[in-house]
Amino acid sequence: MPKQSPVVLICQPLLIQKSGTWRTILESAGLKVRFPGSGGKVLTGEQLRSELDGVAATIASTEPYTAAILKAASNLRVVSRTGVGFDSIDTAAATERGVVVACTPGTNHEAVAEHAFALLLAVAKRIVPNHADVAGGGFHRQPSRALRGKALGLVGFGRIGRAVARRAVAFQMKVLAHDPLLPSLPDDACAVEQVTFDELLARSDIISLHAAATESTSRLIRHETLAQMKPGVVLINTARGTLVDEAALRESLESGKVAAAGLDVFEHEPPAGSLLLSAPNVVLSPHLAGIDEQAFEDMATMAAQTIVDLGQGRWPAERLVNAGQLRQPWKWDSVT
């Protein structure tokens, strides 16, 4: 590292003005920790641009690292995400500037799987309306939806999809999986049936989304794909809001084609004005599936350690999104 203490900007709102193992790792390596003046909210593009002056690395949330912002941030060397998604970062522009983009694989998949099941149980067992009924003085008993024997379709079968599958098998569910990136399922997925996307839509009683946000998955769930689903299907989304056409889902919820939905993510966040806020039979949460206490500590620690590793000349390729595209040898103090 250069002799002058490099500055690390902590953009993740949940870490603002906090201490923890992650901070000890950074400061023990001689790095200076700086917090933005955003009041614990995700930085806007304009705020991020102004905060990046003199910053060598960030621990990032979902603030937008556009090509223009990256070009203006002449000292920036590393963007280290707390999480596995990086769709808010223009990785091509980062690579062109010699900026390493990192994420924290293997830290929060169990948390997301737990939350996906929490949403599924909430809608299947009508937890929210039943609570409101009893708390309001009622006591109306209605049969809930059974999970055992039902077909759960997983769109995406990476770490999170596999973690959800393990829980589904424990609930005696049939598990279908579709992932175009996997030619075959791993050996430990013996209770899971690999199917085409069309098969998954047609056969699933419940569909849970675990695909990345890409051009090919944008509005994957739309009028055409909803029409292929079983009447009364349940939809769970803990992946990215852009996978779902919110207007089409709202219509399907109103018609009963989709019986219920559990949603942790939205096309725009926060989802002010979203048609789903007033849709029937939905349970909503504020994009927090991957940040239970244990997972968040693990993510923050890995994000910080990645910055230190890079600053001290190590190359943790398994955590680096654009490792294969950066010009070598990459150096902390080199600026494109």
Superfamily (CATH) of domain 109-284: NAD(P)-binding Rossmann-like Domain (3.40.50.720)
* Average pLDDT, integer, range 288-292: 93
Q: Tell me: domain 7-107+292-319, CATH 3.40.50.300, correct?
A: no
* Average pLDDT, integer, range 113-132: 98
* Average pLDDT, integer, range 189-203: 95
Dist. CA 59–CA 301, nearest whole Å:
10
- Domain limits, the chain: 7-107+292-319, 109-284
Average pLDDT, the chain: 94
Q: What is the pTM of this model?
A: 0.89
One fold for 7-107+292-319 and 109-284? yes
Dist. CA 160–CA 195, nearest whole Å:
18
**Predicted confidence (pLDDT) at residue 188 exceeds the cutoff of 90:** no
From 67-71, 77-81, 245-249, 331-335, the region with the lowest mean pLDDT: 331-335
Residue with tokens 């790095």: 31
* Average pLDDT, integer, range 199-227: 97
pLDDT for the residue numbered 3:
62
* Average pLDDT, integer, range 145-152: 98
Q: What would the pLDDT profile of 27-58 be if each residue is shown by its tens digit?
A: 999 999 999 987 788 999 999 999 999 999 99
Q: Of 333 and 151, which is predicted with more confidence? A: 151
pLDDT for the residue numbered 327:
73
DSSP secondary structure of 169-201: HHTT-EEEEE-TT-SS--TT-TTEEE--HHHHH
User: If pLDDT is split at 50, 70 and 90, which confidence band does 2 have?
Assistant: very low
pLDDT for the residue numbered 334:
55
* Average pLDDT, integer, range 183-209: 93
User: If pLDDT is split at 50, 70 and 90, which confidence band does 335 have?
Assistant: very low
**Helix (H) or strand (E) run with residue 253 in it:** helix 246-255
pLDDT for the residue numbered 329:
78
User: If pLDDT is split at 50, 70 and 90, which confidence band does 184 have?
Assistant: confident
* Average pLDDT, integer, range 286-309: 96
Dihedral angle, C-alpha 276, 278, 282, 285, nearest 10 °: 70
* Residues recognised as catalytic: 240, 269, 287
**Sign of the CA dihedral 82, 85, 89, 91?**
positive
Dist. CA 318–CA 323, nearest whole Å:
8
User: If pLDDT is split at 50, 70 and 90, which confidence band does 276 have?
Assistant: very high
